Chain A
Amino acid sequence: MEAQQAAVKRPIPLSTNYAVAYAVKDLDVDVVAAYPITPQTTVVEKISEFVANGELDAEFIHVESEHSAMSATIAAALTGARAFTATASQGLALMHEMLYIAAGLRAPIVMSVAMRALSAPISIWNDQSDLFGSRDSGWVIYFAHTAQEAYDTLIQAYRLTEDPDVLLPVMVAYDGYVMSHTTEPVVTEGRSEVLKFAPKRPYPYRLNPDKPVTIGAIVPPEYLYEIKYQNVKAMEGALAKAEEVDREFGKQFSRSYGVMECYMCEGAESLIVANASYAATLKSILPEAWRQGLRVGLLRLRLYRPFPVKHFVEHASDAKGVLVVDRSISYGAPYQGPLANEIAGLKVREGLGFNLTSVVAGIGQRTMEDEDFMALVRLAWESRTRRFPETMFYGVRE
C-alpha cells in the first residue's frame, strides 16, 4: 500500500480549462463569481459541477456580466475569502475598470484568462489582444504553455497573491482553444498537498466588525501618488517572490519552471521570444531547426508582469538576433507588436547589441503550421546579420 502511494502519480487527461478547474478545487477556493464566455466557459462550468456535487465547498455567484464578476470577486477577496474568476476577450474588456480597482485595493485574486481576439468583427478564436489590452492594470501576469503548467501556476499564483508583501491580483493566461480545449496529461496533487503548499492567508484588512476599516475611499492629490508607488514597489518585489514560490513548488511537487525559460539556448545565435502555445510548438520545431544548422533558441515568457529583466539580459546579451512574436497589435506604435516595443526598450536600457525583429502572427487564430514556425525560425536566424526595421505581419494575404 505504501509502495503504491509512493509510486509516481498518474496523470489524467484534462484540457487546460479543466486543469484550471481542478486547481481551483484543490486550492479549496471559497468564492467563484463568473460569467460564461468562450473559450473560458468550461473552466467555470466544471467548477460549478464540483460545487453542485459537493466536491468543492464554495459560493458560486452567477453574475450578470464580467464587470459584476470582477466586482464580486474583489469584494469576496476583501472580506477574507479565497476568490477566483475566469474570463476571456470581451469579458476581460468589460472588466477593465475593475481590474485597476482590484490591483489598486491590493485584492488577492487569481483569474485565469483563455486568451481570445477582441471584436469587431467578432472572432471567438485565439489571439492575445485581450490580455495585452489589460497589461497596465497592475496585475501580475503569467503565461502558461501546457495544461500542467496552468494547473501548477494557479497554485503558485495563490501563494503569491496572498503573500502580505505582494497582495497583487494575478492573471494566469493561456491560449484560447489551442490550449483551453486541448486535452493533455495532467498530474493533479489533491487538496491536502496543495493546501500544504498554499495555505489560505486572507487579506489583512478583511471584514471584521471589531476592527472596522474604510476601503475604497477617495484620495486627494497629496496621497494618490504614494499609494500608486506602493504598487510599483509591490510589483517589483513580486519577481523575487515568484521565483521563490516556483523553487519551493519544485521542492514539493518536483516540477518547476522558473520565471523565464530559455530552451535550446546553449550555443544559440538567435532567439525567438514567444509565450503560451507558440512556445510549446516552437519547442517541438527547434530540434529539427538545429539539425538544419539554424542555431535558434526559444526565450519563453512565463512571468510577464513583473518582467524578469535580469533573466532576459542574461539570455539575450550574447544573441545576435532576437525575433519577437506578438499576437496582438499596438496600432501605429513604433513596433506594432506590444511585446516587441518592450524588448526594444530593454535593448536600449541594457545596451544590448542584437538585431530586433518584430513579427505579428496568429491574429484571430490564423493557423500556424510547423512550416510557418520554421519560417519564423529562419527569419530569426537571418536577423543575426540583417535588420528588419518594420513589424512584419506574418501570413496576412496581400
Chain B
Amino acid sequence: MAVQRLPSWREMPIGGVIVNPGNSLEYKTGDWKVLMPVIDQEKCTRCRICWYVCPDSAIKELDKPYTTKKGRAYKISYEVDYDFCKGCGMCAQECPVKAIDMVPVEVV
C-alpha cells in the first residue's frame, strides 16, 4: 500500500484552519473499531431500529431487494458503512431479532 504523503508545515493553513468546507466526509472516523457489526440478511426483519439508534448514521438503508431462503421478499436492505462505524454495538444490542453479530476486526 502506498504511503500517503502528508503536507509539510509550510503547506498547511495557519492555526489549523480548515479552508475547504464540507471535507468531513473525507475523514473516515471508523478506523479504530475493535468489533464490527455484521448483519444477517436472513434474520433481519427490516424494522429499521438499527438505522434509528446508530449514533454515527453508519447504517445505510439501501434500495436493494432481498429474498430470504424461506421466500420472504424485501425491497430494502440494511448495510453497515464501515468507514464511519465505530463499533459501539448499539445496533446489535437493540436488534429485536438478534440479526447483528459483533465480530472482531481482523488487523492485517
Contacts and interface: CB of A to CB of B under 8 A. Distances in A.
Given A167-B14, A230-B14, A205 B19 contact: yes
Interface stretch (B5-13, B52-60, B100-108): B5-13
A214 B18 contact: yes
17 contacts: A104-B15, A104-B16, A105-B17, A106-B14, A107-B15, A213-B19, A215-B16, A215-B18, A219-B16, A223-B16, A226-B8, A227-B9, A227-B15, A227-B16, A230-B12, A233-B9, A234-B14
A212 interface: yes
Interface residues of B, number: 13
Interface of A: 104-107, 167, 205, 212-217, 219, 222-224, 226-227, 229-230, 233-234
Contacts of B12: 223, 226-227, 230
B2 to A, nearest CB: 16
A107 B9 CA distance: 18
Given A226-B9, A227-B9, A217 B15 contact: no
A216 B15 CA distance: 8
B10 to A, nearest CB: 8
A229 to B, nearest CB: 5
A106 B19 contact: no
Contacts of A205: 13, 15, 17, 19
Contacts of B71: none
Contacts of A213: 17-19, 21
Nearest to B14: A106
Which of B6, B7, B12 has the largest number of chain A CB atoms within 10 A? B12
Contacts of A233: 9
B21 A215 contact: no
Contacts of B21: 212-214
Contacts of B17: 105, 205, 213-215
Which of A104, A216, A227 has the largest number of chain B CB atoms within 10 A? A227
